Structures are given as structure tokens and as C-alpha cells.
Amino acid sequence: MSEQPALALQTHPARLRAANWARTACCMGLLILVVAALTLIFGRAGERIAVQMCVNVSAVVALGLFCGNTGIVSFGHGSFMTIGAYLSGILTMPAGLQRTALPQLPGFLAGHELSIWTAFPVVAAAGLTFAAITGSAVARLAGASATIATLGLLIITHGVAVGAREITRGSQTFFGVPRVTDLAMALGAALVFILIARLFRESRNGLFARAARDDPDAAAALGINPRRTRFIAWCLSGTLATVAGALYGHMLGAFSPASFYLSLAFAHVAMMIVGGMASVGGAVTGVMAVTLLQDTVRQFEGGAEVFGIAVPEVFGLTTVSLGLAILLIIWLRPQGLAGRLELGPGADAKLLRGIKETTEPAPVPDRAAAAELKIENLSKSFAGVKAVLDASFEVPTGRITGLIGPNGAGKSTLVNLLSRQYHADAGKAIYANTDLTKTTREGVARLGVSRSFQNLRLFPGLTAYENVLVGAMAKGHSRAHSQAIAIRELGDFELGKLAATTAGALPYGARKRLEVARSFAQDPSILMLDEPAAGMNPTETDDLADRLQRAGAARGLGVLLIDHDLRFVNRLSNWIVVMNRGQVIAQGTPEEIRSDPAVIEAYIGRGRTAAEAKLKTQDPSKPMEGVKP
């Protein structure tokens, strides 16, 4: 390995981490600044707003931890806040007051008189338990159905809180809760929550959750379990929200189930969307912006005089202005005020430019133990269409095996069967003594069988660097090792300069290369590439062929290369399998394939001459034979 890449490997992750911390510190500093300004300029009234703002920051950061990383908007976090507020209230309430306010309180809850600091761990544990129970259901869903489930959860919790009169006084005001949430506590909690959310976002699970958010199937193909990532995010987020609920309760002193119901859930979701769901900084910015907006607008709600013009009293002006703010944000800045804060192409680009382009692939552990993927009688049909029919062939390691065939031949379906995207109707695919058709999608990836998709399946919201990093981490490598792998692959595929660009913003050719780089980062033994050159121009195709040849040879991996560009496949493979209408119709060396009548017929169809067929499939690097000019 040359010296410069080695240097980049050592310095780069540390510098990236430093930049991330700097940004988190900025975000915290901004909050402290706004809080200080409020208390210094507006005195007691300002302090009240500041406390409320900090509690809201805690709640919204907790909410964003789930929503931002999984892409699921949750209205259900009001449930956690309800539990936190009531439980903490009951545990800390003076015993005498409790006997009057809650005469029928069950014995195990009564008379604890805990200090707030003793109550918090109990509250957090209760929140975690509730999150684990509800999460096992919510994590199974994605998208709009998950959002509706969280709304259902809020409605159920609200109903239970109203119904459980012995514990909550029903819809009546619950009072006697010590008002102990002061500015120091609220600000401290907000800062700690920001830190936790920030750490989670960059953690293995956070990264996996964001990958699964962008493309669950591609994530699963890398060995990530999308359901698990949602579950973990839900549990952590729910636990934090429960503590935020306790803080909220101790700020109010008296509340009812309605305090945590739809209007609060809506306000918190609004704050998150205004600020930007994708980043922790977004949650903080959103709360500050919305709190300041609400408190300003509230002054005018009862009617006021602006520049000598009398503004009439408008009931619900704050809600209307909040609604307008959301509409404006969605229209003008869909990513939110600070949505891209932690993606930061600006600062990261400078750091990642440190990655040197390398022409030689970095050394990797060689695979002495040659193995092969044995496909035996695989079949799959879709409602009568036999997409794959009784297909059998082998993909050995250390070699590029071509898989060609006209459109609709069943090539992609075959890959989908091997990667467990689809369930095989019959047949086996044995690799390392395991039948791939009987394992899970993650299991296939863990065995060392990776794939790329025919239609690009990148994680568009993640940077190019993160896309590759996810690939390496999903394989189970440590973070430091994964970072080194990611840098190596980005260098190999000439993506170093684009490392800090989000995948969704990359040019097409770079996206194609990135997808191959991501599969390479998994250090696979068998790599299935589904039309990696589709849509590329001839120069890009040749370039990709060079890279594949070099990397394949250096790493001894087995490649199943699918394409219908025969020239491309011919150049790389010395063994080619041909499929047509779901069946393997021929396999052999490129020379054998080129002259196989069944192949010619499949490609050209009946009624054409063999000479024409030869012309079509001729390797242009060799002199034409059998065709007179």
C-alpha cells in the first residue's frame, strides 16, 4: 500500500468525529445562548418560556430520535409522556396530599414520596418496559401504517388514563405534583438528550436504522434487520420521552390526560417538521423557532395594536400560525430549517477530500479456501409465469461467471431467490454447507454472499461515505475497521471527492459505482451483480470492467455477473451461463456460447441467419470469422 492512503486511513475518522462533535457543540451552544438571552432580557417571564422550551427540546429530541432515524412520524409519544408525568407525579407526591387527592390509589403505588432523582430511574424503566411491549408491534410496520398505529396508541393510552380514575383522577385535574422542573434541570436534560440522540444517530444502530429508512430491502440484503433497527430506536426514544413527560409534569404541577393528547402531539410533530426531522439539530431549531413564534403570536391573540392599526381578537391564532408555519416549511424548505445540519456537505467535503484516490486495491485477506455456490434445480413462478424453471449451475470463487439472457429470462429473479428477496418454490442453493433458500436475508449476507440491484438501490439520504460504511458495518466489522474499509472502497472506485455528497444527489455513473463499492465493502466471497453496467456509456463500462477484473483477482472472490451486453460479459468471464424463459439453455466458455445455436436463437430469434447472429455476438477485439465483408 502506498503511503498516502495509509495516512488518510489513520487521520480521517478522527477528523470526521471531531467535526461531528463540533457541530453538536454548536447546537448545544445555540440552545444555551437562546435560554440565556430569554432570562437576561425578559426576567421571570423569559425564564418560564426558557424552561418550557428546554422541556420541549427534550421531548422533541426524544421524538426525533425515532422519527428521524426510521422515517416514521409518530403521534404516539404522548403516551410515553402521559406515563412519565403521572408515574413521576405519584411517586414524588407528599403522602398526606396523596391521601386526599388519590384516596383509592393501589397500595404498591402509594406513599413513596421519592425525590425526583430517585423517581427518574423508575420512570425511565417503566418507559422502557412500555416501549418494549408496544415496540414489538409498532416495529413490524413501516410508513403510513406505522404512523396510524402510533396514533392508535395515543388514543388508547388517553382512554386508559381517563378511565383509570383511582390512579389519574380521570379527566379531572391531577394536582399536588411537586413543581421542581427549574431552568437548570430542564436545560441539563435537554443537553443530555441532545447528546444521547446525537450518539445514537452516529452509532451502529442509528446508521442501520437510517439505511433501513431509505431502503429496507437493500438494507436487508446487506444483513440489516429493518424491524430490529426500528425496535431499538423506538425503545430508546420511548424511554427518553417518558422522562421528558416527567419533566413536563413537574413543570406544570397540575395536569389532566388532555395535557398530553392530540394538541401536544401535534405541536411536537410540528416542531420536529419545522426544524427538520432528519437531524438532532433540526429538532432543537424547530422547538426554538416554534416556541418563539407561539409566544410572539400569543401576545396578539387577545387583540392588539400594531403600528396604530387595531388587530381584532382572533381565537386560536397560535394554532393557525403554527399550521401556516408548517405549510410554509413544507413548501419552501421540505428538509426543515436545519434538516441537513448533520449531513453537512460543506464541512465534511473538506475532510473527506483527504481520501486519496488509489488505483491499486488495498490488500485484503485472501481466500485460500476455495468454495462454490451450487445452484440446484431452483424454480420460481409468479401466478403461472415460470420465471425460473429448474435452474442448475455453479458459481465458484476466484472467477467471474457470466449470466446472460434476453429480457425476462429470469436472471433477476434468480438473484432474488439467492438473496432471499423471494422464496423459492423448489430447489436448493448450497454455499458453505448452508442452503441459502432456507436462511434469512440477513443470513445470506452474513455468509458472505452479497448483491447489487438492477435498479439502483442506494440509501439516498446517506452520504456516499455512509453508504459504504453501512455495508462494512452490517458485515459485523468494528467501526474503526469499517471506516478503513469505506475509505479503501471509495478510493478504489474514485468516489473520494464525492464521499460527503448524499447518494441521492450523485450523478448516475457514480451511483452505479457506489452500489458496487458498497457490496465490495462487505468483503463478500460471492458477489452477484445485476446489470451493473446498465445505463453506462462505453467508457464507463470499460472502466467498471477494469475495476471488477482487478478487484476480483486481488480478492479471489466469485462474481456472478449479469448483463445482456455480451461484449461486457465476454471480456470478464471465462464461463458463461445462458438463461431463456426461466431455463438454463447453455453454459460454457465464451467461444462455445457464441456458436451455440440455442443461444443464437434465444437472442436473435428464428428466421435470422446464423451469420447475423455471429455478427451480433462477435467479440470486436477479435477478427471476424465466417462473415464476408
Q: Which is nearer to ligand ADP, 88 or 412 (CB)?
A: 412
Examine residue 411 and tell whether it contacts ligand ADP (CB under 6 A): yes
* Dihedral sign, Cα of residue 585, residue 588, residue 592, residue 593: positive
Q: Which is nearer to ligand ADP, 38 or 389 (CB)?
A: 389
Q: CA dist 215 to 60, 141, 236, Å? A: 25, 14, 22
Q: Which is nearer to ligand ADP, 135 or 582 (CB)?
A: 582
Give the helix/strand (H/E) hosting 332: helix 317-332
358-417 residues near Mg ion, rule: CB under 5 A: 411-412
Residue with CB nearest Mg ion?
Answer: 412
- Segment interacting with Mg ion, rule: CB under 5 A, options 86-94, 216-224, 443-451, 452-460: 452-460
Considering CB distances under 5 to 8 angstroms, the limit depending on partner class, which of ligand ADP, Mg ion, none binds residue 232? none
**Backbone phi, psi, residue 13, to 5°:** -60, -35
Among 127, 206, 257, 405, contact with ligand ADP (rule: CB under 6 A): 405
Q: Which is nearer to ligand ADP, 69 or 587 (CB)?
A: 587
Examine residue 127 and tell whether it contacts ligand ADP (CB under 6 A): no
Give the helix/strand (H/E) hosting 138: helix 116-138
Concatenated DSSP letters of 488-553 = HHHHHTT-GGGTTSBGGGS-HHHHHHHHHHHHHTT--SEEEEESTTTT--HHHHHHHHHHHHHHHH
Q: Which is nearer to ligand ADP, 283 or 389 (CB)?
A: 389
Strand ordering across the sheet containing 385-396: 385-396, 372-382, 426-431, 434-435
Among 242, 413, 463, 570, contact with ligand ADP (rule: CB under 6 A): 413
33-62 residues near Mg ion, rule: CB under 5 A: none
In angstroms, rounded to a whole number, what is the distance separating the alpha carbons of residues 311 and 303?
5
**Taking the complex as a whole, how short is the minimal distance between the CB of residue 455 and ligand ADP, in angstroms?**
10
Examine residue 198 and tell whether it contacts ligand ADP (CB under 6 A): no
Among 410, 427, 496, 558, contact with ligand ADP (rule: CB under 6 A): 410
CA 73 to chain centre: 14
Among 53, 409, 445, 528, contact with ligand ADP (rule: CB under 6 A): 409
In angstroms, rounded to a whole number, what is the distance separating the alpha carbons of residues 192 and 187?
9
DSSP helix, strand, coil percent of the chain (3-state; round to 5): 60, 10, 30
Query: Residues 325, 272: contact at Cβ < 8 Å?
Result: no
In angstroms, rounded to a whole number, what is the distance separating the alpha carbons of residues 158 and 152?
10
Q: Which is nearer to ligand ADP, 468 or 529 (CB)?
A: 529
Residues 376-395, mask of contacts with ligand ADP (x by CB under 6 A): ------x--x-x--------
User: Which of 404, 431, 408, 432 has its CA nearest to residue 418?
Assistant: 431
Q: Which is nearer to Mg ion, 411 or 594 (CB)?
A: 411
**Taking the complex as a whole, how short is the minimal distance between the CB of residue 567 and Mg ion, in angstroms?**
18
As given in the structure block, the three cell numbers for residue 528 are 452477484
Examine residue 71 and tell whether it contacts ligand ADP (CB under 6 A): no
- Segment interacting with ligand ADP, rule: CB under 6 A, options 152-160, 226-234, 401-409, 588-596: 401-409
Residues with Cβ within 8 Å of residue 235, at least 6 apart in sequence: 128, 131, 132, 135
As given in the structure block, the three cell numbers for residue 442 are 440477513
Among 203, 319, 421, 454, contact with Mg ion (rule: CB under 5 A): 454
410-429 residues near Mg ion, rule: CB under 5 A: 411-412
Q: Considering only CA atoms, give the Rg of the chain.
A: 30
Examine residue 412 and tell whether it contacts ligand ADP (CB under 6 A): yes
Q: CA dist 611 to 35, 483, 527, 623, Å? A: 81, 52, 35, 14
Residue with cell 405534583: 177
Examine residue 407 and tell whether it contacts ligand ADP (CB under 6 A): yes
**Backbone phi, psi, residue 502, to 5°:** -70, 145
Examine residue 583 and tell whether it contacts ligand ADP (CB under 6 A): no
Considering CB distances under 5 to 8 angstroms, the limit depending on partner class, which of ligand ADP, Mg ion, none binds residue 408? ligand ADP
Examine residue 475 and tell whether it contacts ligand ADP (CB under 6 A): no
Binding residues for ligand ADP, per CB under 6 A? 382, 385, 387, 405, 407-413
Give the interface with Mg ion as residue ranges (CB under 5 A).
Answer: 411-412, 454
